[in-house]
Structure 1
Amino acid sequence: MKKIIVACGSGVATSQTVASKIQSLLRDRNIQAQVEAVDIKSLDTHIRSSVAYVAITNPEKEYPIPVINGIAFLTGIGMEEELEKIIQALK
C-alpha cells in the first residue's frame, strides 16, 4: 500500500489531525493509502518509502516526492486542490 507522510515538529498533535483528515477524505473516495504522522526529525527516513509529503511547516529543502500544503487540511482553504495532488501522487 502506498504511503503518505504528514510531518510537524513533534509528530503528535497537528500532524495527527491532518493525517486523520486526509485518511477520511481518501476513504470517502474509496482510495486506499497509508497516511502516517511523523515528527520532522525522522522525515528523511520516511521520505524514501512515501509517495507524498504533507508539510505543516514550510519545508527547508527540496524532496524527491510531491510536497503538499498541510495547512489547507486545517483551514479548509485550498483543501480540494491539495487533496487532488495527493490523489495524483497515489496513481
Structure 2
Amino acid sequence: MKKILVICGTGVATSTMVATSIKDHLAGQGIEAQVTQGKVMDLLSGTPDVDLIVATTTVPDTVTVPVVAGLPFLTGIGQDATLAEIVGHLQ
C-alpha cells in the first residue's frame, strides 16, 4: 500500500481538507493508499517513510521524496490535474 503525507503549516485544518479530497478521489479510482497529515516542521527531522508528499507550504530542500504542490486544493484551480499527478506518482 502506498503512503501519502499531506503537509501544511500546522498539520490541522488545511491538511485535513486536502487529505480528505485525496482519500475520496483515490477511493473513487479504486486505489488503496494510506493518507496521513503533518506539519512542515515534521520534515526538519528527516525525510519520512512515505511514497509521496502533498504540500500546501514550502518543503525543505533536504526532502528526497517526490512532492506535489497542494495549492490547487485551496484555490480549486487545477485540482483535477493535481489529483492526476498524485495518481501518476502512485502507479
TM-score normalised by L of structure 1: 0.86
Distance 1:34 1:46, change over 3 A: farther
Q: Runs (4+) of structure 1 moved beyond 6 Å?
A: none
Residue 65 of structure 2 aligns to a residue in which SS?
coil
Distance 1:14 1:46, change over 3 A: farther
Residue 6 of structure 1 aligns to a residue in which SS?
strand
Write the distance in 2 (CA, Å) between the matches of 1:13 and 1:67.
20
Any gaps of 5 or more consecutive residues in structure 2?
A: none
1:72 aligns with 2:64: no
Please tell me whether the aligned partners of residues 47 and 53 of structure 1 are also in contact (alpha carbons under 8 angstroms): no
Q: Which residue matches 2:14?
A: 14
Write the distance in 2 (CA, Å) between the matches of 1:80 and 1:45.
32
Query: What whole-Å deviation, never above 9, does each CA across 1:19-55 have from its counterpart, x for those lacking one?
Result: 1111111111111101111111112568431111111
Please tell me whether the aligned partners of residues 46 and 63 of structure 2 are also in contact (alpha carbons under 8 angstroms): no
Residue 20 of structure 2 aligns to a residue in which SS?
helix
Q: Which amino acid aligns with 2:75?
A: T
Please tell me whether the aligned partners of residues 43 and 60 of structure 2 are also in contact (alpha carbons under 8 angstroms): no
Q: Give the C-alpha shift of residue 63 in structure 1.
A: 2.9
RMSD (Å) for aligned C-alpha atoms: 1.8
Which stretch has the larger CA shift, 30-39 or 55-64? 55-64
Any gaps of 5 or more consecutive residues in structure 1?
A: none
Q: Which residue matches 1:52?
A: 52
Distance 1:62 1:79, change over 3 A: farther
Q: Which residue matches 1:89?
A: 89
